Structure 1
Amino acid sequence: MKYLLLVSHGGFAEGLKTSLAMFAGDKIDQVIAVGLENGKSVDDFALEFREALAPLKEEDRVVVLADIVGGSPLTTACSVLDELGKLDSAVVLGGMNLPMALTSVVMKDALEGDDFVGAVLPEAKAALQEFKVASDDSDDEDDDI
């Protein structure tokens, strides 16, 4: 099985998992979320992350999404995955958002490697845009009559 691992600072990973359940509830048992909580050390996070991965079997693979590339949760998660012999087969992406996570959970079993990354990153990037509310000036003119 392939699992989606969400790692972040604070409660972002857990909150994202909760939101994912609204869209992909049938796959939520394949999502593991761990956050580096305020006041906890990186060692505490590593222990919690290792415990969260305990159900994984030797043949299981992972996709890791992190909030910040190079942040402590991501680098620590990668260290733990390396210790467990899972880093070489892992896909690791940073800058996670809901569209990225949703595409990842849906496509993780259908696509591999570069094809997977090529499907996920454009979805994440496409979600980043300004939302502009169009003004309907014709309504304002009617009020003046």
Structure 2
Amino acid sequence: MIKLIIVTHGPLADAFKESGAMFFGDQVDQVATIGLLPTKSPEVLEKEIKAAVVQSGTKECLIFVDILAGTPFNVVALMIEELKEYHIECFAGVNMPIVMEALASKESMNVAELTEHIGEISAATIVNLRQTLEI
């Protein structure tokens, strides 16, 4: 079992979870979401992410953050070493197709397999409409 955690600036993480419920129903209840608000320090964010990992009931976690080198990304990067007993993977640049793919695949893959799969398909999750439709 893989714990999915989405960490973003503002309420975007919650929006991904709510949108995911349209496709996956209550399966999204197992997704942890954490929003970094202007009033929240990086230290508090770190405590919240660690709590989501530790309370997940599994040693395999896949964390999605919104921006490469943003505060959520940097906090996860620093805490991965501290939580060595967990297999934590992290992707920056979360989008809805990736969240849906993770939800659809998390029961049939371990975190290493899902990480490889997400890495392989990620570039195809954002496309130019004109090029795709050749208009």
SS of the aligned residue for 1:38 comes to coil
Question: TM-score, normalising length from structure 1?
Answer: 0.74
Relative distance call for 1:84 and 1:113 in structure 2 (3 A) is closer
What is the identity percentage for the equivalent residue pairs of Structure 1 and Structure 2? 25
The gaps in structure 1 that reach 5 residues or longer are 136-145
Q: RMSD over aligned Cα, in angstroms?
A: 2.6
Equivalent residue letter for 2:40: K
Matched, 1:95 2:93: yes
Aligned length: 133
CA contact (8 A) 1:2 1:30 kept: no
Cα separation, 1, equivalents of 2:97 and 2:19:
11
Other-structure match for 2:48:
48
CA contact (8 A) 2:5 2:52 kept: no
How far the C-alpha of 1:82 sits from its partner, in A, is 4.3
Matched, 1:61 2:60: yes
Other-structure match for 2:21:
21
Cα separation, 1, equivalents of 2:3 and 2:111:
14
Other-structure match for 1:140:
none
Q: Give the structure with the higher percent helix.
A: 2
Cα separation, 2, equivalents of 1:114 and 1:82:
17
Matched, 1:131 2:121: no
Cα separation, 1, equivalents of 2:107 and 2:81:
22
CA contact (8 A) 2:2 2:107 kept: yes
The gaps in structure 2 that reach 5 residues or longer are none
Question: TM-score, normalising length from structure 2?
Answer: 0.79
Highest Rg: 1 or 2? 1
